[in-house]
Structure 1
Amino acid sequence: MKKVYCVLLLFLLVGCGSSEDTPDVTVYRKILRIEYGETLSLKVSDFLSCEDKDVLKQSTMDTSKITYDENTYPAVGLYPIVISYPVEDSTQKATVTLEIQDTTAPTLTKEVEVIEVAYGASDYDFYQHFEATDLSDVHMDIDTSKVDFALTGTYEAYVSATDAYQNAIHKTVSVHIGEKPQPIPQPIEQPVIQPQPVIEQTSVQPTYVQGILVVNKKYGLPASYAPGVNGEAVYALQQLIAGMRANGLQVLDSYSGYRSYSYQNQLYWNYVASYGQAATDTFSARAGHSEHQSGLAFDLISPNGQLLTSEPEASWIAQHAHEYGFIVRYQAGKEYITGYQAEPWHLRYVGSHAPAIYASGLTLEEYLGIQGGGYY
């Protein structure tokens, strides 16, 4: 009996030793995903694992099925890869998959935040302001369906750039529709005054008093001053409009905001042609003297498309604009100081100065102790 036990023990020892001579090879990854455009550097160890590193070193990969595009990158798609590895005196094969995927959106290489469009210019080329790049073909789309080209104000347009694999980048921009040109009547007794050319003001510089930019008939801006609409002021205006609506008041989201020097020049002389210069100077600024050029002034608009003069809206604005950083710039009874007729719709952003100016009951000229009135 002792002899039989010894033989059995010897058999078990030989069997265990034999299994240790055959290391296990495991396919631990069936699919390897790589982003399109990344450098491809495949290794057997990306798919197989084995305690005996020599097995991995002796293994080979057949990557002949991978195709490349004109950018020299592996093209997007699924590719079978055959790995051959040694097992004792034979060779085993395992088939795995390489997936090249594109999940990266295009990049905007040219963009703007605000676009100025003339009144009625529904054929305006918005695409001139945007460019995008990507490793695959890019399609650019601009949605202006919410822009009313026949109503002065500021609207939102939506820009998207989409690549061949439906990755997209989106952007919202502001579109400002300029004021409707006033009809120029044919003269009956006197000739029509033709619009004057833009006179570049090179010597004029912006004036700040107590940190507030001053623009009136005595203090002007140079033609080169073109900051566009002020982002902080626009945000405050949107909050003011939301506050009006929360109180049941009627006002449009659109408004008349930033105007360039040349645009104001054209607007002013069109008015002169219709009403004469003396009358025009009471309600329209000459180029370089409009607060709208500062990007800090806004005209609110009623739902009927006209400048806001209705009640109780106008009274609410007069009493609450300062809570949002604004003052009503041209007050009734102060025309000889501001130089303009009362405009309950015209708001000027002065930020943290607004509560003190409002509490004083003074015009901006009076509060800052600066000259106002006419041009001369």
Structure 2
Amino acid sequence: MTLSVLLAGGGTAGHVSPLLAIADDIRFQDPDARIVVLGTSEGLETRLVPEAGFELATIPKVPMPRRVSGDVLRFPGRFRGAVRSVVDLLREREVDVVLGVGGYVSTPAYLAARRTGTPIVVHEANARPGMANRVGARLTRPDLVGYAFPGTPLKGHHVGMPMRTQIEAVDYDEDAQRAEARRSLGLDDDLPTLVVTGGSLGAQSINEAMAETMTATAQSGVQVLHITGAGKGEELREAAADNPRYHVRDYVDGMESAYLAADLVVCRSGAGTVAEISVVWVPSVFVPLPIGNGEQRLNAAAHVAAGAALMIDNADFTPACLEETILPLVGDPDRLAGMREAARREGFPGTAARTMTRMVYDAAGMMHPGREYGPERWTKHERFYRTGEERA
């Protein structure tokens, strides 16, 4: 019997990336599995899902109206239409399991699954769950709910974050890996290295603070790799024109190289970023996005409490903060080593995609294929165990 699964979620990379990691693991376990991704025609899934080789089905985006308008009257009918569309899709494809990761399309998918008797699996990426996954978690068994961060208020399991195998394979303790990463990014092997990133969209306030500390950065002896976000690097390039150790890039294809190159990372605390940093054990300073419902601060809370990272409010991330806190930390190997050890002790779960795949097969009442993961998919821990290079 071949598994048929609908994976629901989209809109942002925070939803699409873990969804695709799970889809990739299902496809690895059974190349014949029938996988359909449900999204909208407006989100990043329209590009990322086909690029990853998966089929994308779309339904209209039906957000809950936040103020009184004509949309309030139209919402019930539009929402029922979205649910009916998913019901038709589930029946047409004879779907065995619906897995949702949150976002606009997940609620219609969960309700359609409930209507058709299709088992539901849920993964929640943020420490503060969204409405869709709160609904989904109530419609399924707790053993079919996984979440990325400890303390997430859902009945389920702390499984970590599904992510690309390249991230899980990163070994921050291997000098050769770190040296190769620095060379691939055009960085000096021997200089203390600060990596600054605001994610794919960039972080304007972080970029501005860095631009104002160019003189202090140049005098510190620290080299900087600043990933500004697409189209946001011109001002920094001009400011850094006389500092050959300040490297400005709009993006890096494969953030594992940036993590390996860094002695310290300064970044936002989106769910994916926090999870990747927690798995890699790279010392970090989180500057949570000051808008939204506070989920970025919650995402990083456990990692900070473990002593593996610092947290600085966006309003406090100033040139003075950079000069008095960030730059001295980059040049303090003993303190950085302590942060790495704290991350190691924290033991953030890896291989979450594999765990979610097992949940999918369990929900379907099917035996997991049990295909063994080869060297190209080994985590750093598996490589140690299998090659006799385990570290204490």
TM-score by length of 1: 0.23
- The structure with the larger Rg is 1
Structure that is richer in helix per residue: 2
Q: Give the number of the structure with larger relative contact order, counting CA–CA contacts within 8 Å between residues 6 or more apart.
A: 2
TM-score by length of 2: 0.22
Structure that is richer in strand per residue: 1
